[in-house]
Structure 1
Amino acid sequence: MLQGDLAVLRDDGQNVFSENSSPQHRIRNLVCVLALGDQGFSASELKPLIWRPKECSDQTSALTSLIYNARRVLPPGRLITSPPGKGPRRYSLLCQDSDIDVACFLLAVGKAERSRANGRLEESARHYAQAASLWPTTTSSARALPDFPRTRLMLQIRDRLLAHRREVAEAYAETQLRLGRHTASLADEILQSIRAHPTNTRLWRLHIIALYRAGYKGDALRADEAVRTLFEDEFQAGPGTGMDQLQAQVLADDPVLWTDAALQESTPGVLNKVSPLNLASTPIRGARASLRPHTHLNRDVTVRARELAGTARHTDPSTTSSQR
């Protein structure tokens, strides 16, 4: 398990990592790196993934010791060297994609995206739901992937993985709305994702549309007010013209809100935009596509958003003025 505190299970189901001492911390870093690679790593590839520049004066000796100590901690035969004997060595973990939670998550995402591209929305929704269950957004970004080394490349990979988790929440909500499942329970599910990604205007948009379509116009407008208050308090700016257009459509009971066109964010909020990453795609178990970077958020913003999001609760639709 990589998403939370690292767990490598023995045959008896016990985690081999029983403490978070400094030596075990480095072994955890190594296991995280090896678990992601699907073809193993050479010593020269491992060093910059585990240590920052100037962090270790003799990385060659340190890596030799780290490999030795990791083999003592891990179950026998898990950390392998190939090819055996002479020649450039490559280190890898002997395991299947199904043994690694991040790989299972990425495999589910890939299936969902292929199904959606082929117009199989029901199938796509199931795979997105599976991916969301494998890595729920209730786990805060600050606590996600805690044993990743804090090296440049590994932090970039971490940010890309977190971006995928955010995008799964968006895609799942959009797919459910495209299937006509605009219910109060879906609105609540989206709200849970918003609490993990508070400045994501795409999630706010889908949440507001879900509330409106479910007959909760008043709550949709209160959710709109909540996101505006958040952005004004934290950034002294509005959430973007796309949200302004959505507010006007809700107030006017615009029929467009019942179409798929309403689900698209015409002008993404500035915090939803991602910049290109000048980095070759890194082979990761379960994925072959390049992952996009995730915008880091201030912890105070997250707390403030959770407080505001708590006000976006649905009430009895009979008390609102919106009916289809």
Structure 2
Amino acid sequence: MSATWGQLPSARVLGGTEVLVGGAELDLGGRLARRLVAVLVLAEQRPVPDELIWQALWGDSPPARAAASIQAYVSRLRAGLGDNLRQAVMRTRGGYQLHVAEVDATIFAGQVIRSERALLAGEAAEAEQASSCALQLWRGVPYLELDCWPEAEIARSRLDELHALAEEVHIGARLQQGETDELAPDAEAAVQAAPFREHRWQLLILTLYRSGRQGDALAALSRARWLLNSELGVDPGPELRELEQRVLRHDPELLR
């Protein structure tokens, strides 16, 4: 390739698929053209066979001139990249291949992992900073254009879980740094967004308790128990049950 890593475009897939050169977004064209780019980004710079591209774009019913359509989409992408970067899209024996300098999903995953490790190590400020960076990258549904394509669903599920983790780490880091009253609405919103994630209930209960609202903390515990029992037919897990007992006996360690 004539292009160097410093010159390569970047890609965004946390939300609608975008390709940027020098910070400027390229016009990728219509829905199918964006699907093609999303497939190539998802492959993480590995060649994608034509048959796999056809499946991602048209399912089991590709048009008679599918190969020609893909060539047209690739030509448009190369034209947008310009002469210096057109070889970022390569045709190899294995299929089409897209080289990019960075992908927002990769950066996002790295920041989430970094934030979780920092929180577990007691480095709350670093955990808050890393989780904030991750959450700022999240624009919406990952690989949006690929709908229910199985390969995209696998990646989407992993990224959705990381996004949920980033939200929880962010709240946990703020709680470790002493936020309470101002954190309670965010902790409540996190519970409402994913009410079956018990760790979110733990964060909300701790936030309320440290705000001096023991009654509200116990009420939240009752809400969690009712929800889990009525919707899933299960009791709260051991960590949530232990937290309830510690709240009831005013465990001083809960304030630290």
Same fold (TM over 0.5): yes
Q: Determine whether 1:171 maps to 2:169.
A: yes
Give 1:245 shift: 2.4
Counterpart of 1:130 (choices 130, 133, 141) is 133
Q: Which residue of 2 aligns with 1:55?
A: 60
Q: Determine whether 1:213 maps to 2:221.
A: no
Counterpart of 1:155 (choices 153, 156, 165) is 153
Q: Determine whether 1:204 maps to 2:201.
A: yes
Seen in structure 2, the aligned counterparts of structure 1 residues 171 and 45 have a Cα distance that, compared at 3 Å, is farther
Seen in structure 2, the aligned counterparts of structure 1 residues 232 and 12 have a Cα distance that, compared at 3 Å, is closer
Runs of at least 5 residues in structure 2 that lack an aligned partner in the other structure: 1-11
Give 1:203 shift: 1.0
Structure whose residues are more often strand by fraction: 2
Seen in structure 2, the aligned counterparts of structure 1 residues 146 and 194 have a Cα distance that, compared at 3 Å, is farther
Runs of at least 5 residues in structure 1 that lack an aligned partner in the other structure: 19-23, 260-324
1:47 & 1:33 partners in 2: Cα distance? 7
Structure whose residues are more often helix by fraction: 2
Counterpart of 2:144 (choices 139, 146, 151) is 146
Counterpart of 1:240 (choices 237, 240, 248) is 237
Q: Which amino acid aligns with 1:27?
A: A
- Please tell me whether the aligned partners of residues 36 and 57 of structure 2 are also in contact (alpha carbons under 8 angstroms): no
Seen in structure 2, the aligned counterparts of structure 1 residues 216 and 57 have a Cα distance that, compared at 3 Å, is same
1:30 & 1:226 partners in 2: Cα distance? 45
Seen in structure 2, the aligned counterparts of structure 1 residues 90 and 116 have a Cα distance that, compared at 3 Å, is farther
2:120 & 2:219 partners in 1: Cα distance? 34
Counterpart of 1:26 (choices 14, 18, 32) is 32
Counterpart of 1:5 (choices 4, 12, 16) is 16
**TM-score normalised to the size of structure 1?**
0.61
Give 1:16 shift: 2.3
1:232 & 1:44 partners in 2: Cα distance? 49
Q: Which amino acid aligns with 1:257?
A: L
- Please tell me whether the aligned partners of residues 35 and 93 of structure 1 are also in contact (alpha carbons under 8 angstroms): yes
Give 1:72 shift: 2.1
Query: What secondary structure does 1:91 align onto?
Result: strand
Seen in structure 2, the aligned counterparts of structure 1 residues 51 and 225 have a Cα distance that, compared at 3 Å, is same
Report how many residues are paired: 241
Q: Which residue of 1 aligns with 2:90?
A: 82
Q: Which amino acid aligns with 2:191?
A: I
Give 1:165 shift: 0.8
Q: Which residue of 1 aligns with 2:3?
A: none
Q: Which residue of 2 aligns with 1:183?
A: 180
